[in-house]
Amino acid sequence: MKYCPKCGNRVKKQVIDGESRLVCLNSDCSYVHWNNPVPVVAALVEHDGKYILARNTKWPAGICSFITGYLEYGEEVESAVLREVSEELGLEGEIVHYLGHYMFKEKNQLIMAFEVSAKGNLETNEELAEVKYVSKSELLAYDFHPLYITEKVVKKWSDLADL
């Protein structure tokens, strides 16, 4: 960003609160680009005794992860994760465990992960290119590279589930 979205003047980097941030050069404008992370929900979905991994249509072949989506304005985190399960998989879900929050710096996202038990008939939407059902042991051994956060969530899940 080269210009202030508030007043249109130029911005420059300045250290504020120990971080380099874009600040408007206009002394009458108080704009600071805080670059706060975008909240994202993720669901490790159990359905019919197996776990669902999915590949988004924008991802390369062979890369699968959990069901994910953005938190919408005014939405509770728990509602968002269940909405994503419904939208992407056509399933009715129930939260089993909160699996933690993880900073994904590369995309400036804060990912909040949950284990979700789902029922119903699987009907994927246009966002998904592929869906895989895996057992607990396959999930624990799955190579999520380069999705290191998914690996962290699976580790947390296995610790909670005491597998």
Structure tokens belonging to residue 98: 């909160």
Asked whether residue 5 falls in the same domain as residue 29, the answer is: yes
- C-alpha of 142 from chain center: 19
Asked whether residue 54 falls in the same domain as residue 117, the answer is: yes
CB 116 within 8 A of CB 157: no
Asked whether residue 70 falls in the same domain as residue 125, the answer is: yes
**pLDDT the model gives residue 162:** 64
Q: Which residue intervals of 5-130 are DSSP H helices?
A: 77-89
Q: What is the CATH number of the domain that holds 4?
A: 2.20.70
Asked whether residue 21 falls in the same domain as residue 78, the answer is: no
Mean pLDDT per 10-residue section of the chain, whose length is 163 residues: 96 95 96 96 98 96 96 97 98 97 96 98 97 97 93 94 61
Asked whether residue 45 falls in the same domain as residue 103, the answer is: yes
Asked whether residue 106 falls in the same domain as residue 79, the answer is: yes
- What residues contact residue 159 under an 8 Å CB cut-off, 6+ apart? none
Asked whether residue 113 falls in the same domain as residue 154, the answer is: yes
Domain ranges, residue 76: 38-161
For 141, the enclosing helix (H) or strand (E) is helix 136-141
Handedness of CA 103, 146, 68, 59 (dihedral sign): positive
Q: In total, how many domains does the chain have?
A: 2
Q: What is the CATH number of the domain that holds 47?
A: 3.90.79.10
Distance between CA 150 and CA 160 in Å, rounded?
15
Structure tokens belonging to residue 46: 């159990």
pLDDT (tens digit, 9 = 90+) per residue, 6-39?
A: 999 999 999 999 999 999 999 999 999 999 999 9
Asked whether residue 16 falls in the same domain as residue 77, the answer is: no
- Mean pLDDT score of the chain, rounded to an integer? 95
CB 132 within 8 A of CB 64: yes
Asked whether residue 31 falls in the same domain as residue 44, the answer is: no
Asked whether residue 117 falls in the same domain as residue 151, the answer is: yes
Q: What is this structure's pTM? A: 0.88
Asked whether residue 18 falls in the same domain as residue 43, the answer is: no
Asked whether residue 14 falls in the same domain as residue 88, the answer is: no
